[in-house]
Amino acid sequence: MSEDRQETRMSLFSGKGGKKRHFFIFSVIFLVGMIVLFFFIIPPVHDRTIPETVNLHTDDRSVSRSAAQIISPSMLKSSMSLERIRRNVCVGDTVHSILSSIGLDNNLIIRVVQALKLRYDPRQIVPGQALMVLFRSDGRKDSKRIFHGISLKTSYDKELLVTSTQTGAFDICERECPLTMRIVRTEGVVKETLYEAARSAGLSENILMQLIEPFSFDVDFQRDLKGGESFNVVYEEYFDQDGVLVREGPVLYAHLLVRGESLKVYRFTAADGVPDYYNERGQSVRKTLLRTPINGARLSSRYGLRHHPIKGFSIMHQGVDFAAPLGTPVMASGSGTVTFGGWKGNYGKYVSIRHNHEYSTAYAHLSRIAPKVRSGGRISQGDVLGYVGDTGMATGPHLHYEVHKYGRQVNPARVKFPPGRILQGNELHRFFAVTESIEGIYIGAGAIASKNPA
């Protein structure tokens, strides 16, 4: 009996049909093995993590793809949703440390940073900059979230997106951020200083500087404000998609009541594309010279006859003196050509500027002259030309400031400078249409937000 069974087993692998039966048996075993491997050993696609080997696309097509092309298709096909975690950069932070604090794997972080370097130096991040970490999931509570990429704000309206693809590679592109704009109106009354009044009314320092700048050609903010002055300002604010304020300004309209005068300025962009501020008559408020070339200084000596503190007798003082701490920046009161920069006898370190055929200005007793100021060079209005000092014949740190008209010193406080650009014709009509629109916004309290405290 045992010999018969052995004979039978041998017959399965021998004879004419042995080879066919051999092939059939091994085919069945291979098929069963593949089924077990596919269903029980290899994990489902949605549970896989991003491969550790980075494949950076550097061709123009992958780099220039829009954010919508990178993010949307795979998410739409698989009903994926994005979870965003926002981090604002703090002092000492790096992209690596921020991603590590969220819990990303170190190898993955290295690959993300490598991709980011294609467009941006990660060492350039600054405190306050926004970094968004993106995760995708199918929206179910028990679903595993998968790292999708990062978004790094490079400016108030632009961001870089580094996102993973279905192949495990990374794409990088730049896109414009959607912003929401609102117009804000603020008003206040000066009790002690304009700064305190503006801050109490809810104005930021940025908007305060934008408010001061167009009036600085007609108003001496150190001496003309005595208390009781009022201001009104209308400006724009921009918010990102998270409701975070990312930009303030520009100022569209401002009104200042000072010295019994009502001064109004309107922002208007002329046909040449250059925005500037104009009064209600269409005249640019930008004059040849600023009223004062220094901020926060005290007028210590006026123009005219005075008793000289060093010489000991009365002498004509052909300029004005501003007392200020040593090293306070001194600005060019107007654009022009530097005619002298260096030591000039009793004036000490001295700079003179020719603005046009009529006016020139001089700045004396400087502690040092700005490096870029050279005789024959150009300088723009508001540029720092030097710093307050006590060089030459001086009893203490101060700026001696002179205005020359046709080569002769004149009293800076009494000079009436003509307006700059004057709008005419179609430009003037278009300007009036803009002013009417702004006035309508200002009067319509319901049309804009107000920052005045209750």
Residue 353 has a pLDDT of: 96
Angle between helices 18-36 and 2-12 (to 10 degrees): 80
- pLDDT level of residue 42 (50, 70, 90 thresholds): very low
Q: Pull the structure tokens for residue 435.
A: 């002013």
DSSP-derived 3-state class of residue 300: strand
In a domain, 321, yes or no: yes
pLDDT at 48 (0 to 100):
31
Choosing from 135, 159, 176, the residue where a domain stops is 176
Residue 453 placed within a domain: no
Domain boundary among 141, 176, 211: 176
172 and 184 together in one domain: no
Within a domain: residue 202?
yes
Amino acid 33: pLDDT: 62
Q: Which of 291, 293, 416, 285 is nearest to 358 (CA)?
A: 416
Instruction: Evaluate if residue 29 carries a pLDDT over 80.
Output: no
What does the buried/exposed string (b/e) look like for 291-323 if buried means 16 or more CB atoms within 10 Å of the residue's CB? bbbbeebeeebebeeeeeeeeeeeeebbbbbbb
**Statement to judge: residues 408 and 306 lie in one domain:** yes
**Is 16 domain-assigned?**
no
Spatial separation of the C-alpha atoms in residues 137 and 78, rounded to whole Å: 9
Residue 326 lies in a domain: yes
Tell me: do 281 and 325 sit in the same domain.
no
Per-residue pLDDT tens over the stretch 77-103: 344 577 788 888 899 888 888 888 888
Q: Is 113 or 439 the better-scoring residue by pLDDT?
A: 113
Which residue would you say has higher pLDDT here, 62 or 442? 442
Query: What average pLDDT does the chain have?
Result: 77
| Whole-number Å distance between alpha carbons of 224 and 201 | 21
Q: Which residues pair with 72 in a beta bridge?
A: none
Residue 376 CA neighbour count, 13 Å, CB half: 0
Please check whether residues 348 and 399 belong to one and the same domain. Answer: yes
Are residues 141 and 76 part of one domain?
yes
Rounded to a whole number of angstroms, the CA Rg of the chain reads 36
User: DSSP readout, 62-77?
Assistant: HHT--HHHHHHHHHHH
**Whether residue 171 sits in one domain with residue 186:** no
Q: Which of 102-116, 312-326, 394-408 has the lowest mean pLDDT?
A: 312-326
Residues 393 and 321 in one domain: yes
Q: Give the domain CATH number at 223.
A: 3.10.450.350
**pLDDT band of 27, cuts 50, 70, 90:** low
Provide the greatest CA pair distance for the chain: 147
Angle at 390 between CA 386 and CA 372, to 5 degrees: 15
pLDDT over 80 at 410, yes or no: yes
Q: Are residues 65 and 164 in the same domain?
A: yes
Q: How many domains does the chain have?
A: 3
d(CA 302, CA 319): 7
Same-domain check for residues 209 and 167: no
State the residue for tokens 């603020």: 186
Q: Which residues span the domain enclosing 80? A: 60-176
Regarding whether 323 and 246 lie in a shared domain, the answer is: no
339 in any annotated domain: yes
CATH number of the domain to which 393 belongs: 2.70.70.10
| In a domain? residue 124 | yes
In a domain, 27, yes or no: no
Alpha-carbon distance of 338 to 350, in angstroms, equals 11
Write the pLDDT tens digit of every residue in 119-177: 888 888 889 888 888 887 766 666 677 888 888 888 888 888 888 877 777 888 888 88
Domain boundary among 160, 176, 192: 176
Residues 323 and 409 in one domain: yes
Considering the domain architecture, whether residues 359 and 338 belong to the same structural domain is answered as yes
DSSP states of 396-440 as a string? SSEEEEEEEETTEEE-GGG--PPPS-B--HHHHHHHHHHHHHHHH
